[in-house]
C-alpha cells in the first residue's frame, strides 16, 4: 500500500515543479534584452513588416496569452524556431545532443 501511495503521489508532486520551471523559463526569456523580431529581421525592416512578424509570432499579445500558447506549444512538442539557425528548436537541440 505504501508503494502505491508513492507511485501515485510522486507524479502529482511533479506538476507544481514543472509549472514553476515553465514560469521561470518564460520570465527569463522575456527578460532577455533586445527585440527578437528586430534581431530576426535586421535593422532595415520596415515598421509594417515588424508589426506583421510580431503578430505572426504572437508577440503583440499580452504576456498571459503568450504564456498560454508557450505551454500549449510545449505540450505539443513545438518549441518554436531558432532565430540564429532558422530551424525548429527541437531539431537544433536534437542535433547538439546526439
**Per-residue tens of pLDDT for the chain, all 98 residues:** 788 888 888 999 999 999 999 999 999 989 999 888 898 888 899 999 999 999 998 999 999 999 999 999 999 989 888 878 889 999 999 999 98
Nearest partner of 34 among 56, 68, 59, judged by Cα? 59
How many domains does the structure of the chain reveal?
A: 1
Instruction: Specify the 3-state DSSP secondary structure of 53.
Output: helix
3-class state of residue 76 by DSSP: coil
Amino acid at each position: 500500500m505504501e508503494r502505491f501511495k508513492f507511485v501515485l503521489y510522486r507524479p502529482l508532486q511533479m506538476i507544481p515543479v514543472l509549472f514553476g520551471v515553465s514560469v521561470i523559463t518564460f520570465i527569463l526569456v522575456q527578460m532577455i534584452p533586445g527585440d527578437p523580431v528586430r534581431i530576426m529581421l535586421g535593422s532595415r525592416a520596415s515598421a509594417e513588416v515588424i508589426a506583421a512578424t510580431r503578430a505572426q509570432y504572437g508577440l503583440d499579445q499580452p504576456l498571459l496569452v503568450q504564456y498560454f500558447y508557450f505551454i500549449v506549444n510545449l505540450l505539443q512538442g513545438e518549441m518554436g524556431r531558432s532565430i540564429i539557425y532558422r530551424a525548429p528548436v527541437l531539431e537544433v537541440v536534437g542535433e547538439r545532443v546526439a
